[in-house]
Chains A and B, each alone.
Chain A
Amino acid sequence: MPERVRQLLPSVLSVLLALGVCWVLIALTLEPGTATDAYLQMLWGGIGNWPAYLDGAAATVITRPLGESAMKAALLTLTGLSVAVAFKVGLFNIGAQGQMLLGALAAAVVGAQVSLPGALHVPAALLGAALAGAAWAGIAGLLRIYRGVHEVISTIMLNWVALSLVDNWLVVGPLRGAAEGGQSITGTAEIQATAVLPRLLGEGSRLNLGFPLALVAALAVWVWLTRTRSGFETRAVGLGAEAARAAGIPVARRMGLAMALAGAMAGLAGAVLVLGTEGRYPGTLGAPYGFDGIAIALIGNNHPLGATVSALFFGVLRAGGTRMQLLGVHKSFPELIQGLALLFVAGRMVWLAVLRRRSVAPAASAEVPRA
């Protein structure tokens, strides 16, 4: 079996196994027929109801679900990239959630309180979000480099600090939006029209510029890691910091920059959420896309493009998940599939052992006739 396939197979098999286990779970708690229907609904809710469209329904039965999927996939891609980039330099970024919160807040502030012409406002808000996320991740990076504090613990702590400070103080206190038309609002003030990420498929679909932006980011990270000197050095540090140091690579600088880039990606995810769909920093950010990023990156084998593929897949499932509610299956179900898939990916060694046994057996029997 070629090496590349052997690398990919555990992830693919894990996702399939998770889909199977979850099907059984619905079949047991509801009915077997419902399980299959629910999966179909999830598919149509994710990629668009093509049968209905071919029967003559309006194009929105396609564009609306696709917009939802793309929106979720964009966020998952960016947080997945955040985790994957840190992984490449040998750091485990559990903190994408906190970095995303800070990025979302920065985007909301720049989007609402700074006035700029249209062509500059969106880039400025994106830049602010990226910098905020990078700074928050940078704290963990500096603690690791200069004080030897393990990044898993520090980023977990930073997540809760971010959540407490942003959701429980800034957004309900100093940065809370003024009442509009006599009604008090939750969250920050609404961003100006110039800061909104333009929608690409008309008003019926929430597909916005954030989606191509996420894809470009993934491509850029991939090119950086594989085609540039600093990207190569980053990977070298991840493979063995001591060897990299001996080879003259500035280990501390590579770690710090990779961590900052990871934070910037998560920060951008926050910006895409605020500028693309929410229009403000809402009372609470809702789904923990930052934590999902861990699953996305690992299922994607910590490869920027692998993470993108897994984000697209789970974006479709997550968007389709809302349709499953029609059949009495809770909309968090795709998250269960995702969690189980990650659990099975964690058992990568088990998969490799099983696959090795499979691939060794035929090879051995092939040798017998020759002898």
Chain B
Amino acid sequence: MLEVIHSLLFSTLDAAPALIFAALGAVLSERAGVIAVGMEGMMRVGAFCAAVAALTMPTPLAVVMGMLAGAALAGVHGFLSIRWRSDQVVSGIALNLVALAGGTFLLESLYGPNGTPPIQQLTRWNLPGLSAVPVLGALSGHSAPTYLALLLPFAFQGLLTRTPLGLRLRAVGDKPQAVATLGLSVSALRWGAVLGSGLLAGLGGAVLSTAVLDRFEQHTPAGLGFMALAAMVFGRWTPVGAFLAATFFAFGNALRIGLVSSAPGLVELIPQGVLLALPYLLTLGVLTLQGQRSSAPAALGTPYEQESR
């Protein structure tokens, strides 16, 4: 029994970071008032660039490249939606389409359909002493992003709720006019948030191809970017909430995969498809219950115009 819990916990901690980073990125962008439908595309670009970079440079540096690539795509999003006040959903969807088709095109023309050549994965850290403890030992043996993913949400939550910068970020998503009245730049704050969300989404994608797998695969990230949006909504737009939701979704997935291999009888009873739909159904349920009192930032999706004050 303990071994089962151990292995479930271990695979959750292995799979969750990518989702956690993307969900945090989505929270950052949306709390500043910019809709984050483009997470999927930014993750894909991050995953692709990290895998390609890792062919020629040390893997940790390649992860940074993936983050920068995600931020570059976010830069396009920022240019269109902040600088030119375009529809944020349109811009995000367009980036998803470009990343999807562009990734396939570049992959096929440079490396063929089976993905990039295998790369050196990120080193896994063995925490001495911990590995021997039952259950808790599952915390040992992961790569650096896993540990970062466990700490970052709390640091981010502190930043958002306890610091002046956090207050400004929240204000710019709820009532940008108030921020502008204080003589602060609405667009600078939103730019910062959007680029930051690109870095986080890129990191999430890079983790997929350098820690979870050892290459960029054709379908990466296969909808994780949208699940990150679900985690953000489920976690009511707070970093720790999104973290818990993302971890919960990752755990549910690990449980599902575990059940398929160990208890096929149970899967007969509850079909896999229903389990796969569960995170999204839960998110819809939360939204339905919250209704109009939803915790979404008030100015979400509204481009800021100087004259509108």
Contact = CB atoms under 8 A, between A and B. Distances in A.
Interface in A158-202: 158-161, 164-170, 172-173
Contacts of A148: 291-292, 294
Contact of A295 (B94, B290, B291, B294): B94
A156 interface: yes
Contacts of B105: 25, 329-330, 332-333, 336
Contacts of A92: 89
B287 A147 contact: yes
A164 B281 CA distance: 11
B106 to A, nearest CB: 8
A197 to B, nearest CB: 28
A339 B93 CA distance: 9
A157 B105 CA distance: 28
A161 B277 CA distance: 5
A143 interface: yes
B226 A346 contact: no
Interface in A39-95: 92, 94
A279 B52 CA distance: 41
A167 B90 CA distance: 27
A147 to B, nearest CB: 4
B294 A333 contact: no
Given A164-B273, A165-B273, A152 B89 contact: yes
B282 to A, nearest CB: 9
Contacts of A172: 273
B265 to A, nearest CB: 15
B230 A157 contact: yes
Contacts of A156: 37, 226, 229
A343 B41 CA distance: 13
A348 B223 CA distance: 28
Contacts, number: 146
B280 interface: yes
Contacts of B80: 343, 346-347
Interface stretch (B96-104, B130-138, B185-193, B194-202): B96-104
A149 B283 contact: no
A173 B267 CA distance: 12
B274 A343 contact: no
Contacts of B106: 29
A200 B246 CA distance: 51
Nearest to B76: A343
A340 B98 contact: yes
Q: Indicate the member of A30, A165, A172 with the most B CB atoms within 10 Å.
A: A165
Nearest to B270: A169
A189 B223 CA distance: 28
B27 to A, nearest CB: 14
Given A30-B109, A164-B273, A346-B91, A149 B294 contact: yes
B109 A346 contact: no
Nearest to B288: A147
A149 B287 contact: yes
B94 to A, nearest CB: 4
B261 to A, nearest CB: 16
Interface string A324-339: 0000111011011011
Interface string B90-132: 1101111110111011101110000000000000000000000
A147 B292 contact: yes
**Which applies to chain B's interface (DSSP): helix, strand, loop or mixed?**
helix
A350 interface: yes
A295 B97 contact: yes
A349 B83 CA distance: 10
Interface bin, chain A = 35 or more
Contact of B98 (A149, A157, A329, A343): A343
Given A149-B294, A165-B277, A333-B101, A350 B84 contact: yes
A34 to B, nearest CB: 11
Given A153-B287, A339-B97, A165 B274 contact: yes
A147 B280 contact: no
Given A342-B93, A350-B84, A332 B104 contact: yes
Given A149-B287, A328-B109, A339-B94, A168 B226 contact: no
B277 A343 contact: no
A137 interface: no
Interface in A294-335: 294-295, 298, 328-330, 332-333, 335
A154 B287 contact: yes
A91 to B, nearest CB: 11
B97 A173 contact: no
Interface string A263-282: 00000000000000000000
Given A94-B89, A152-B35, A346-B86, A339 B101 contact: yes
Contact of B291 (A149, A332, A338, A339): A149
B89 A168 contact: no
Nearest to A328: B109
A330 B103 CA distance: 11
B91 A169 contact: no
A346 B90 contact: yes
A168 B104 contact: no
Contact of B97 (A170, A330, A342): A342
Interface of A: 25, 29-30, 92, 94, 143, 147-150, 152-154, 156-161, 164-170, 172-173, 291, 294-295, 298, 328-330, 332-333, 335-336, 338-340, 342-343, 345-350
The 10 closest A-B pairs by CB, nearest first: A169-B273, A339-B97, A168-B273, A148-B292, A164-B276, A164-B277, A336-B101, A335-B101, A343-B94, A339-B98
Given A149-B288, A168-B273, 10 more contacts: A25-B105, A143-B287, A152-B89, A291-B93, A329-B109, A335-B100, A335-B104, A336-B102, A338-B101, A349-B86
21 contacts: A143-B284, A148-B292, A149-B291, A149-B294, A156-B229, A157-B281, A166-B273, A168-B276, A169-B272, A294-B90, A295-B97, A332-B104, A336-B98, A339-B94, A339-B97, A339-B100, A339-B101, A342-B93, A347-B84, A347-B86, A349-B84
